[in-house]
Chains A and B, each alone.
Chain A
Amino acid sequence: MFELDDETLQMYIEESLDHLGDIESDLLTIEEAGENIDLDLVNNVFRAAHSVKGGAGFMGLTTIKDLAHHLENVLGLIRNRELIPDSERISVLLKGFDQLENLLKNIETSNDVDVSHHISALESITKATVPEERKEMISKIVDIVLSDGRIFPQVSLFEIEQYKSEGKNLFLVEYDLINDIQRKEKNPIEVLNSLQKTGTIIDSRIDFDSVGTLTENDVPSRIPFQVLFASIIEYDMTETLFDIKKQYIHAISDNMIVPTSVKNPAEEPSIMKPLKKQPAAQVMVETQKPIKTASIEKQKPKQVATPAVKEVKKIEENEEDNLSTAEKDATVNAKMQSSLRVNVGLLDTLMNLAGELVLSRNQLLQGINSSNQKATELSSQRIDMITSELQEAIMRTRMQPIANILNKFTRIVRDLSHQLGKTIDLIIEGKDVELDKTILESINDPLTHLIRNSIDHGIETPMEREQMGKHPTGKIILKAFHDAGQVNLVISDDGKGLNPAKIANAAVEKNLISEQQLTEMSDKQKMELIFLPGFSTAEAVTDVSGRGVGMDVVVTNISNLGGIIELDSVTGAGTTIQIKLPLTLAIIPSQITSVGNERYAVPQVNLNELLRIPAAQVKEKIEKVGDAAVVRLRGELLPLLNLADMLGIKKTYSDPVITEDLPERRQNIADRRSKHHILSEDGIIMDSSDNEAEFPQRGQEDRRYHASSAINIAVVSAGAFKYGLVVDKLHDSEEIVVKPVGRHLKKCTAYAGATIMGDGKVALILDISNLAQMAELSAVSEASQMVREAEAAAEAAKDKAALLTFKNSESEYFAAPLNIVERIERIESSTIEQIGNNRVVQYRGGSLPLYELSQVAEFKPLAPKDQHEVIVFKIKDRELGLLVTTPIDALEVTLDIDESTLKQPAISGSMIINKHTTLLVDIFEMVKILNPGWFKEEAKVAAEMAESGEKIILFAEDSAFFRNQVKTFMEDDGFKVIEAEDGLIAWELLKERVDEIDIVITDLEMPNMDGFELTKRIKSDPKYSHLTVIALTSLASEAHIEKGRKVGIDEYEIKLDREKLMKVIRQKLNLST
């Protein structure tokens, strides 16, 4: 007895969905290619539509068959290059395939779904393309009448003609479901598939008309399974090919094709529809019905149906989006329980492992029974190993490539960008990354949301983009990759980014944060406000440049999966969102820590590193900022949270004497641990007579001498927060199984769940991001940021300079200011030319004069070598080279210069750099000595100045070294200099002698009154505001320059750049150079 069971249907659905799987991207590629049709791709899509159709006919899935058929028609035209796939047509095709997929997923109701608007859209494409004379064929349906009078109804004439025009022969092959298929242990789908290899299946059906009913015959002799088949194979060959008797293969000639009276195939009742749910016995009864209905409906002319369909179409197009999402949701839910394809190899592995597990269990039992400890140990080790492997293998069965969900974003981007009039390229990377099935399904929605946001709010319109100087085509990059046992998903766009100020204002308006909080927030924190629940409701968000529609939902979804989300955006340049997900949900690797007697698990996802601060270093490493403790980690300040304080647990320490954990007495972590501290703390302890009685041995054997008094920190991060979690002990990293906690504990947000440890006790799993929120960590991180700024300012206050260090002879160390160095070159000794007393080398088309330090002062001459290093300086627009010995190094140092001890010509002073006494070379002086001609002009100006009355400079500088240096070269150039040791003195001098002073030059960082304050006073007093103020600084940062501009500083100059400074002074005083 034939039965068209669930299995066959299931197989058909799975295969069809498989076929449809890649269609979307194929179609999009076809669209992109436009006129340059890639036949392979089109064929691919064509075949997919075709196979779906082929099976559908035989399954009685008329709606699917019909839709697939019309899709196929359009694709056929594209394949024959009769139709150019423009985006409108592709849209119709895409929608058609979407519908097809939906029908397949809801197969039971598929025949009741109205697909007429898809079909008419497809038909109108076909009709518009084909020539007049063929037009009527498109919707024309014919029957094929066999010689014995039986008919194969409802075949599209257009299709038949198409195949004929391709020179194919048409056959009607009649398999017998009982003898040819069932008895040969085949499956109808398999038969169809094998036929596909040699030709094309136009249609297939089961001919129930000729079966008869149960009442007539107990067992029908044959159930014909008819396949209408087009192939290039000749009739003679078919017998062997189809493996059935020739009498059941009918070659179809033109006279067998007769027009049908019923034109609309959708009206035809589904013969097989009830089959799926009905037991086989009922099928036979059921088969009578369709014939009756069919005959009734044959009277119904098609014209009645068509207009109605058209009206519906319009309405439905508007609703289509809503409809299809609703449908999709339904299918997603249904899919949750659906089957999963597992690699057979993997199944074999599982089987093997299961076998091994059984063997090991037997060994273990034997070992236990015979009390053989060694055997027991061995088998427990084996079981341990097998369990891990088994776990991994089972996990792998759940792993699915992320491509499954990423691929569909191409479509979303395409559709949405069309709709919004934007052009967007989507780049997908890392499609092979695999994720647990449940996670994969659950990130679909959040990802869709983020992508939609990027398209809608992120990327600008092409016009806006051009105005901003960007490429008109926006770019969205979707990237998946593995990192540290997690899956990372990055969605970045080059759109307009987020505007922190606007977001912050919106958040204040909605009362999500207070003005007060706002002032303490960094830009990044402001941007992250979009994650707040309640932020994203209003339409105003779109105006606010923002993303944010339902961002809180995205965050919730991601964190439900144990993932974290990070946001990074540069206003005007784009937004990047990074999602980190665990590979799987049920088992997570965690760091086990403990506080007091309890263990706590920190999920590895959140863990950055472990830090142990030895007792001896606690005092210097841990600082207090306001009330918060921070630790300095690689130059960054990391706020510390004490888990015990957070959870209100009494901290303990293990007492080395009584080996019991005792309550910690330390008040806060920063209170440690010089000897002085120990004594005073101990003093307090000793005061209590109870303690003395209890611990008589206490004294020198203090716990603080033990390693256990070090501080253990787990450095964790959650979103924007990164902090150190102070715990009592750090244990191993373990894989833990997450178990839910009871309802009474739901409101304890500090925990993400609980797990059972190896010893059977329960440990809580910490929720790192909630802990951060509980501690209001933003305040802490703000504080540490302030500290950082203060430090930066303190750094700047010192006179720092960038120096180039080098050697003359092996034991003589020198340095020169880096900013006057042009280049460092290596030259061959042989290329040095000696001309009189001067040495030159041909260099960049000119002669570079070479000097060495022994020419100006009492230093050793350089040893002769094959190659020499030359530092090229630029002075007065001329270059000169100084021959030196390696190593040459650039470094930034705090200047602390001794001007007297080693003073000599061309040396401005000495200081200690890297434990060597290093002499600072004054290149100007050196050039002046060696080549006085270069400075003729200055001498002239100086002379002129002296004639026309001296110009007077007020010069404020606290460092004596710089004061002397700068003063000297200003005086050399004919200026008179009034010195001041700080801003305040300068201010007093200025008040006294304002009429004489022409220009003010000031250092910025000075005691008593700094350069900023001095400038501010000068500029805000009309008596002095005419004066030009030039600031001298060692390192000018942007922030500094900005600050200086605000108070009115006219120019910034670098302290040791003599030439530039003098030039600017002359400019400001309108002196010729």
Chain B
Amino acid sequence: MAKQNIDAFSEDLEFSTFYVGGALCGINILNIQEINKHFEITKVPQASEYIEGILNLRGRIVTIIDLGKKLGLAPVTKNKDNRNIIVNSEDEHIGLLIDSISDVVSAKKDSIESSPSNIGGAKGKYFKGVLKTEKHLIGILDIDEVLKE
């Protein structure tokens, strides 16, 4: 809800961009709680395949989702560049495991174009739109859609 307000009122949007499964994606920076590199992840057998596990984030149990798998891209390859992007959704913290973090990009709201049906192999429904910069094409993630069970 808060996010919609933000979208409506501010012309300038900031996106935190990152690589996942070879694609460059962005999330509105205001949706992001924190970005960390805690990898003391406890596996949860029998959970959906895209669930990486659960994590203790200062006393809270946070579900970590392998964003690569969730979007239908290549799974996140484990290396030192991996990060968890913690987002808040429906009063719950959820972590998105990504390959590596990139820049924060500002853009005008109207510069976001509607998303094609497929972005780098990922389903279009997960994206709100695409943002073209000089060098890259950034897929703007629809967090609510991504976090649907």
A744 touches B63 (CB 8 A): yes
* A3: min CB distance to chain B, Å: 41
Q: Interface centre among A647, A745, A750, by most B CB within 10 Å? A: A745
Residues of B within 8 A of A746 (CB): 149
Residues of A within 8 A of B60 (CB): 739
Residues of A within 8 A of B61 (CB): 739-742, 754, 756, 762
Look across to chain A and name the residue whose beta carbon is closest to the beta carbon of B45. Answer: A647
CB of B62 closer than 8 Å to a CB of A = yes
Residues of B within 8 A of A648 (CB): 45-46
Q: Mark A531-554, 1 if CB is under 8 A from B, else 0.
A: 000000000000000000000000
CB of B44 closer than 8 Å to a CB of A = yes
Q: Mark B27-50, 1 if CB is under 8 A from A, else 0.
A: 000000000000010111111100
Q: Mark A408-439, 1 if CB is under 8 A from B, else 0.
A: 00000000000000000000000000000000
Partner of A745, one of B44, B55, B147: B44
CB of A915 closer than 8 Å to a CB of B = no
CB of A649 closer than 8 Å to a CB of B = yes
* B90: min CB distance to chain A, Å: 7
Q: Mark A708-748, 1 if CB is under 8 A from B, else 0.
A: 00000000000000000000000000000001111111111
* A648: min CB distance to chain B, Å: 5
A window 744-768: CB within 8 A of B: 744-748, 750-751, 754, 756, 760-764
Residues of B within 8 A of A209 (CB): none
B42 touches A745 (CB 8 A): no
B window 4-57: CB within 8 A of A: 40, 42-48, 51, 54-56
B46 touches A598 (CB 8 A): no
Number of B interface residues at 8 Å Cβ cutoff, please give it.
Answer: 23
Q: Interface centre among B45, B59, B62, by most A CB within 10 Å? A: B45
* B47: min CB distance to chain A, Å: 5
A761 touches B42 (CB 8 A): yes
B63 touches A761 (CB 8 A): no
Contacts A741-B61, A744-B63; A750 near B46 (Cβ below 8 A): yes
Contacts A648-B45, A760-B40; A743 near B56 (Cβ below 8 A): no
Partner of A744, one of B43, B55, B59, B149: B149
Q: Interface centre among A648, A742, A747, A761, by most B CB within 10 Å? A: A742
Residues of A within 8 A of B113 (CB): none
* A80: min CB distance to chain B, Å: 63
A760 to B54, CA, bound (A): 12
A745 touches B45 (CB 8 A): no
CB of B65 closer than 8 Å to a CB of A = yes
B54 touches A598 (CB 8 A): no
A762 touches B46 (CB 8 A): no
Partner of A742, one of B43, B59, B62: B62
Look across to chain A and name the residue whose beta carbon is closest to the beta carbon of B89. Answer: A743
* B50: min CB distance to chain A, Å: 9
A647 touches B56 (CB 8 A): no
Residues of A within 8 A of B63 (CB): 741-745
Residues of A within 8 A of B149 (CB): 743-744, 746-747
A92 to B40, CA, bound (A): 65
CB of B94 closer than 8 Å to a CB of A = yes
* B98: min CB distance to chain A, Å: 17
A598 touches B43 (CB 8 A): yes
B45 touches A762 (CB 8 A): no
B54 touches A754 (CB 8 A): yes
A741 to B48, CA, bound (A): 14
Residues of A within 8 A of B92 (CB): 742-743
Look across to chain B and name the residue whose beta carbon is closest to the beta carbon of A755. Answer: B61
* A886: min CB distance to chain B, Å: 62
Number of A interface residues at 8 Å Cβ cutoff, please give it.
Answer: 24
A756 touches B54 (CB 8 A): no
Residues of B within 8 A of A598 (CB): 42-43, 45
A744 touches B46 (CB 8 A): no
Look across to chain B and name the residue whose beta carbon is closest to the beta carbon of A751. Answer: B44
Residues of A within 8 A of B46 (CB): 647-648, 748, 750
Contacts A739-B60, A754-B61; A744 near B47 (Cβ below 8 A): yes
Look across to chain B and name the residue whose beta carbon is closest to the beta carbon of A650. Answer: B45
A742 touches B42 (CB 8 A): no
A647 to B54, CA, bound (A): 16
Look across to chain A and name the residue whose beta carbon is closest to the beta carbon of B91. Answer: A743
* B37: min CB distance to chain A, Å: 15
Q: Mark A855-869, 1 if CB is under 8 A from B, else 0.
A: 000000000000000
A349 to B56, CA, bound (A): 33
Q: Interface centre among A597, A741, A747, by most B CB within 10 Å? A: A741
Contacts A751-B44, A761-B42; A745 near B56 (Cβ below 8 A): no
B window 63-98: CB within 8 A of A: 63, 65, 90, 92, 94
A756 touches B59 (CB 8 A): yes
Residues of A within 8 A of B62 (CB): 742
A764 to B44, CA, bound (A): 8
A764 to B43, CA, bound (A): 9
Residues of A within 8 A of B42 (CB): 598, 754, 761-764
A649 touches B45 (CB 8 A): yes
A751 to B59, CA, bound (A): 19
* B51: min CB distance to chain A, Å: 6
Residues of B within 8 A of A751 (CB): 44
Residues of A within 8 A of B43 (CB): 597-598, 649
Residues of B within 8 A of A754 (CB): 42, 54, 61
* A124: min CB distance to chain B, Å: 56
B90 touches A741 (CB 8 A): no
B55 touches A762 (CB 8 A): yes
* A599: min CB distance to chain B, Å: 8
Q: Interface centre among B43, B62, B147, by most A CB within 10 Å? A: B43
B90 touches A760 (CB 8 A): no
Contacts A741-B63, A742-B94, A743-B92; A762 near B54 (Cβ below 8 A): yes
A534 to B35, CA, bound (A): 47
* A247: min CB distance to chain B, Å: 66
A745 to B60, CA, bound (A): 15
Q: Interface centre among A649, A743, A746, A760, by most B CB within 10 Å? A: A743
A window 850-902: CB within 8 A of B: none
Contacts A754-B54, A762-B55; A744 near B45 (Cβ below 8 A): no
B59 touches A745 (CB 8 A): no
Contacts A648-B45, A748-B46, A763-B42; A756 near B56 (Cβ below 8 A): yes
Residues of B within 8 A of A756 (CB): 56, 59, 61
A51 to B63, CA, bound (A): 57
Residues of A within 8 A of B65 (CB): 744
A893 to B147, CA, bound (A): 69
Residues of A within 8 A of B94 (CB): 742, 744
* B57: min CB distance to chain A, Å: 10
Residues of A within 8 A of B56 (CB): 756, 760-762
* B141: min CB distance to chain A, Å: 16
Partner of B51, one of A649, A744, A760, A764: A744
Look across to chain A and name the residue whose beta carbon is closest to the beta carbon of B40. Answer: A761
Q: Interface centre among B44, B48, B62, B90, by most A CB within 10 Å? A: B44
Contacts A756-B59, A760-B40, A761-B40; A742 near B45 (Cβ below 8 A): no
* A919: min CB distance to chain B, Å: 64
Look across to chain B and name the residue whose beta carbon is closest to the beta carbon of A742. Answer: B63
A52 to B63, CA, bound (A): 55
A598 to B54, CA, bound (A): 12
* B112: min CB distance to chain A, Å: 28
* A323: min CB distance to chain B, Å: 37
A741 to B42, CA, bound (A): 12
Per CB-CB distance, the 5 closest pairs between chain A and chain B, nearest first, are A647-B45, A742-B63, A762-B42, A756-B56, A739-B61
25 contacts between A and B (CB under 8 A): A597-B43, A598-B42, A598-B43, A648-B45, A739-B59, A739-B60, A741-B54, A741-B63, A743-B90, A744-B47, A744-B48, A744-B65, A744-B94, A744-B149, A745-B47, A745-B63, A747-B149, A750-B46, A754-B54, A760-B40, A760-B56, A761-B40, A762-B55, A763-B42, A764-B54
Q: Residues on B close to A: CB < 8 A?
A: 40, 42-48, 51, 54-56, 59-63, 65, 90, 92, 94, 147, 149
